[in-house]
Structure 1
């Protein structure tokens, strides 16, 4: 009788629900996609390579209209910090298709990429215009699709200007920061880059110079022509080199 009672009681026990946990994980993934445009952040990634996408317009201190496709720099900064801290992540692949945007935000992203201790490779797909140029050259190695373009132009400012001489001096110093960063992290001579920056007549409204994929490599702005496959191949090669340097028999820096 006791056995039958125990069996009946066991049958009446409720099975722990699994669906809420599944819904919770699905909701978290959906939220990550909506907020960051990623299916997983570096902490959750299983791959040893983290892919960071920079698309649309780089949003800085001012919030852009909702119809604009933007990449918010306050989203990228914690992702880069998390990728640097995560021991599973051995390299970063940065995909660029941007029209540019906020100069200070773009330089901040570029400086963070350049300061990472892990191997980094950038791939320009579509376009790496304006402040996207420093971001493209910030990595250890850069690729550009043959059909992609990069627009090089002087820094521009819109809206109300108070104190024209002071504003002009600020813009000039900011422009020198961009020139110094690009020429330091690529093989393009400063004279050539400035020539492309101030060259007019190439585009409508004389906004600057459009450089195609082959020309970007010829000028020394980008290292090589290639896409995702070439980018991953180079990144894996850099990761292997870093591993060999960290082995007991390797040379450490």
Structure 2
């Protein structure tokens, strides 16, 4: 009997270990996390890394942020009463314009306090996502590339194609202008500047430069960003004074 009991315990332990391993693998595959978070936090961390994947699948060797994975996270963070704020961490080369704008719009319309932090790079359509938060930060060594909207693959050379590109570009410009301190004229000048990027048009802003142009609010790292987010959470907790 003891031997049989030991065998049953061993089988149960193996089942538990296999279940834990499966949870870890699911977290790695879906969220890019190497371990399941322990404990509870009132802050949700959203990571936007690699290339933002939209309607088309990227090659398997590409590091991607899938917008169909991000959107449920945003909805869950907005609905969960235990989550009081969100930190968006970016290190992205850009990607699908419509998917990036969809993520940016959802972040901008959240009722809970949000901060963004650009680490490494927040390029292309990563710019609207960075400015969508209530308060944006950029590391001193981080960069942000601003350039015109492009199309990959087959391009149909008709006037409607270029009109579509122009309208899509205007959507990006209007969003960035509405959620940052940069002026449309300045943003367009940076977008179409020549000589700054090799074999391309656009501008590469590094750390403080992004703040000087009004694109990002402050230069800072993780500690500063979380401290400001906690401050905004505390302010939101306080009952608003009734003005008569």
Shift of 1:207: 2.9
Q: Which residue of 1 aligns with 2:161?
A: 167
> Deviating runs (4+, > 4 A) in structure 1?
none
1:63 matched to 2:53? The reply is: no
In structure 2, what is the Cα distance between the partners aligned to 1:202 and 1:252?
Answer: 52
Residue-pair matches, total: 238
**Deviation per residue, 1:106-133 (Å, 9 max, x gap):** 0001001111111110000000000000
8 Å CA contact 2:127–2:144 kept in 1: the answer is yes
Q: Which residue of 2 aligns with 1:132?
A: 126
CA pair 73-100 structure 1, distance change in 2 beyond 3 A: same
CA RMSD of aligned residues (A): 2.1
Q: Which residue of 2 aligns with 1:34?
A: 29
Shift of 1:14: 3.9
1:81 matched to 2:71? The reply is: no
In structure 2, what is the Cα distance between the partners aligned to 1:108 and 1:251?
Answer: 35
Q: Which residue of 1 aligns with 2:230?
A: 236
Shift of 1:87: 1.1
SS of residue paired to 1:231: helix
SS of residue paired to 2:238: helix
SS of residue paired to 1:156: coil
Q: Which residue of 1 aligns with 2:135?
A: 141
1:193 matched to 2:192? The reply is: no
8 Å CA contact 2:23–2:36 kept in 1: the answer is no
**Deviation per residue, 1:167-199 (Å, 9 max, x gap):** 101110000000000000000111111110111
In structure 2, what is the Cα distance between the partners aligned to 1:13 and 1:178?
Answer: 66
8 Å CA contact 2:128–2:175 kept in 1: the answer is yes
Residue of 32, 48, 51 corresponding to 2:45 = 51
In structure 2, what is the Cα distance between the partners aligned to 1:132 and 1:186?
Answer: 14
Q: Which residue of 2 aligns with 1:21?
A: 16
In structure 1, what is the Cα distance between the partners aligned to 2:4 and 2:23?
Answer: 30
**Deviation per residue, 1:176-232 (Å, 9 max, x gap):** 000000000000111111110111111111231001110100111000001111111
SS of residue paired to 1:204: coil
1:251 matched to 2:229? The reply is: no
CA pair 60-13 structure 1, distance change in 2 beyond 3 A: same
